Amino acid sequence: MGPMGPTTPSAPAAANQVNIAGFAFSPSTLTVSKGTTVTWTNKDQAPHTVTGGGLNSPTLGNGATYSFTFKSTGTFNYICTIHPNMHGTVVVK
């Protein structure tokens, strides 16, 4: 779309995506609305998990995804159990 194309004030389509890359969750903190499904995608060659705060992914290999629908509000902290120095947070409003 050029400068005359429609503009939308809403968040970008990838607002409910978390990438796992460089041994980090990106974004490390994600804010979503209740009822939103968030999808994590492992972009690293190393395996990772998304664990904690009700999240319990299987071990994710390169290119694998894990989705979770947040049905209640709150702050959900999670880690990678393989690399516990990796921390992430989802804030549900």
Six token digits for residue 1: 């779309």
| CATH for the 14-92 domain, from 3.40.1440.10, 3.30.750.24, 3.40.640.10, 2.60.40.420 | 2.60.40.420
**Residue 2, class by beta-carbon neighbours within 10 Å (0-12 exposed, 13-18 middle, 19+ buried)?**
exposed
Sketch the domain layout of the chain as residue ranges.
Answer: 14-92
pTM above 0.95, yes or no: no
pLDDT of residue 15: 79
Contacts of 21 (CB under 8 A, 6+ apart): 43, 44
pLDDT in tens, 44-92: 999 999 999 999 999 999 999 999 999 999 999 999 999 999 999 999 9
